[in-house]
Amino acid sequence: MSNFVFYDFETSSSNKSWGQIIQVGAILTNDNLEELDRYEARCRLSPGIIPEAMSLIVNKSSPKILKTSNLSHYQMIRQFVEILHRWGKATYIGFNSINFDEEFLRSTLFKTLEYPYLTSTSGNTRGDLLGLARAANLYYPKTLKNPISEKGNAIYKLDQIAPLNGIEHGDAHSAIGDVVATVGIAKIIYKNASNVWKASQLTTDKNQTLEIIKRELYFCTNEYFYGKSRPYVQTFVCQHPKYQWPKCFDLKHDPSIYLKMTIPALKEAMSKNPKFLRTVRHNKHPIIMNPSYGDVFDEYKTLGSEKLNQRASLIKNNKKFAEKVSLILQEEAEEKEQSKSQEDIYEEESIYTKFTSKEDNKIMPEFHKTEWNKKLSVLDKFKDQRLHYFGKKLLYEEKPEILSKSDYNKIHRNLAKRLLSTNSEKWNTIPRTYSEIDTLREKFEREGKTEKLPILDEINAYVEELEKIYSSA
C-alpha cells in the first residue's frame, strides 16, 4: 500500500513561472492516514523577486520575516527534495495541488536544476483533495459540511470548510496549517465516502487511469463548473491526437444521431452546446466511479441501464466514428497552433516547450553535490542552454562572487530591466507593486481594516530598497 505526502506551499505570487515558494509544509502518512513524519520551512525572498502585496497579506508573511529566515530559497528547495527522497515512493496530494502547488513545484524544480516531474515518476503518483472532496459530496451528499454562497452553491475553500467540519485550522494560510487541515478533510472522506476514496486511489497514475477509461464499457465521472459538481456517464471514443486526453461520449445523448454524420456536420455539432463529447484529463486525477453512481441522477435514471448499455456498445464498436472525431480534433489543433501569437517565450516559462534530456537530467545531481567554486565547470556540461542560464542565476543568488564580473553584470542588468519596466509584463514589477499597494491602502482604509496598513508600509519600504539596488545597475 502507498504512503501519502500531503503538501502545501505559500508563495510570493500566484504566477508559477515568475513567483517564488516562500513556505513549505508537508506531512507523510501511511495508507490509513496516520502521520509518520512532517516537514516545514520558510525561506528568504530571492534577489530580484518582487512579491505581490496581497499574496504576503494572505500568507501573513511580511518582508521582515522573509528577510530574516535562515534558509535561502535554493537551500529550502534542496532540503525539501532530500526529505522527499528519504520518504520514498508516495502519492502526492494537496488541496487544489494539481492546478496550483504542483505547477509551482514543477516550475521551481526546473529553475533550480532538479528533475521537474518528481511527483509523477519513479513510482510516485499524484492526487488532488479538492476534486476528491467535490466528488465525495456529489455521490454522498453529507460527507462534508460546506458553507453556502449567495448563489446557493457549496463553497470549497479550505479555511472555511475545515472549521465547519471540526478541524482545527488556526494556522490558515500557513503551509503546515493548511496541510494539517487537508489531512483532516481526507480522513473524513476516507471514513464517510469510502467507495469514492477507494476509486480515487485507482486514478493517481495517468497510465492506469487511461487503461480504466479504455477498458470499461462505460463509467461515471464528475466535472465542476459554475459552482456545481455535475455527473457524466460516458464511454471512451478516442484519444486526442495531439494532447492524448481521452475524448468520451456523454450517454445522455443519442449516439445514432452523430454516428451517421459527415465530417463537416460532425465538426459543427462538436462546436455546439450542450457537448456530447467530453474530455477526461487522465493526468489530473479524475474520480472514476461505477456507472451505477450515475444512474441515480435524473438525466441518466430515465434512460435506464439497458439503454445506456446499448448506447455505449454503439460507440465502442464504431471505429469510423472514432476516426472522424480524431480527424476533426487534429484539424482543430493544427488551426490553433497556426493562430498562436509568436510572442517570446522566456526560459522561466519554457518548462513545457521542451523536456530536458536524459543526459542533462543525469548531470543535475552532480551540480548540487559539487562545491560552489566548481559548479561553473559542471554547468558547462549541460547541453540545454536553459539549464546553463538557471545555474548562473543560482550562483548570482547564492554565491555572486564566483561569477565573472561580466556574467554578474549581465544577470544584474537583465533583472533591473525586468523589475523597473513600466510595461505590462508577465512578471511582477516595481511600478506595478507600488500601484497595487496604493490600491490596497485605499481599500483597507475604506473598509476600516487599518490593522493591515503597517504591513503595506513594510512591503513598500522593501520595494523601495530593491528599487535603489536595481536603479543603479
CA–CA gap between residue 109 and residue 118 (Å, rounded): 9
CATH superfamily of the domain spanning 3-194:
Ribonuclease H-like superfamily/Ribonuclease H (3.30.420.10)
Q: Which fold has domain 202-338?
A: PX Domain (3.30.1520)
CA–CA gap between residue 382 and residue 81 (Å, rounded): 21
Cα three-residue angle 364-285-215, rounded to 5 degrees: 110
DSSP class per residue in 236-264: EEEE-TTT-PEEEEETTS-HHHHHT--HH
Q: Where are the domains of the chain?
A: 3-194, 202-338, 348-471
- Locate 27 and state its grid cell: 506531512
CA atoms within 13 A on the CB side of 273: 0
- Torsion-angle region of residue 227: left (phi > 0), alpha (psi -120 to 50) or beta? left
Q: Which of 52, 44, 54, 35 is nearest to 77 (CA)?
A: 44
Q: What stretches in the chain show pLDDT beneath 70?
A: 1, 170, 172-173, 339-343
* Collapsed DSSP state (helix, strand, coil) of residue 137: helix
The DSSP symbol for 43 reads: B
How many other C-beta atoms lie within 10 A of the C-beta of residue 445? 12
Give me the pLDDT at residue 343, please.
Answer: 65
**% of the chain beyond a pLDDT of 90:** 90
The DSSP symbol for 472 reads: T
Phi, psi (degrees; rounded to nearest 5) at 322: -60, -40
CA distances from 375 to 61, 363, 367, 379, 401 (A): 32, 11, 6, 6, 13
- Exposed/middle/buried for residue 269 (C-beta within 10 Å: 0-12, 13-18, 19+): middle
Q: Residue-wise over 12-42: b if at least 16 C-beta within 10 A, else e?
A: bbebbbbbbbbbbbbbbbeeebeeeebbbbb
Q: How long is the chain?
A: 473
DSSP class per residue in 412-468: HHHHHHHHT--S--SS--HHHHHHHHHHHHHHHHHHT-GGGHHHHHHHHHHHHHHHH
pLDDT in tens, 13-42: 999 999 999 999 999 999 999 999 999 999
Give me the pLDDT at residue 1, please.
Answer: 61
CA distances from 191 to 156, 182, 198, 222, 241 (A): 19, 14, 11, 21, 40
The DSSP symbol for 291 reads: G
How many other C-beta atoms lie within 10 A of the C-beta of residue 381? 14
- Locate 69 and state its grid cell: 529566515
| Model pTM score | 0.95
Give me the pLDDT at residue 295, please.
Answer: 85
CA–CA gap between residue 435 and residue 423 (Å, rounded): 13
SS3 per residue for 338-379: HHCCCCCCCHHHCCCCCCCCHHHHHHHHHHHHCCHHHHHHHH
CA–CA gap between residue 49 and residue 466 (Å, rounded): 9
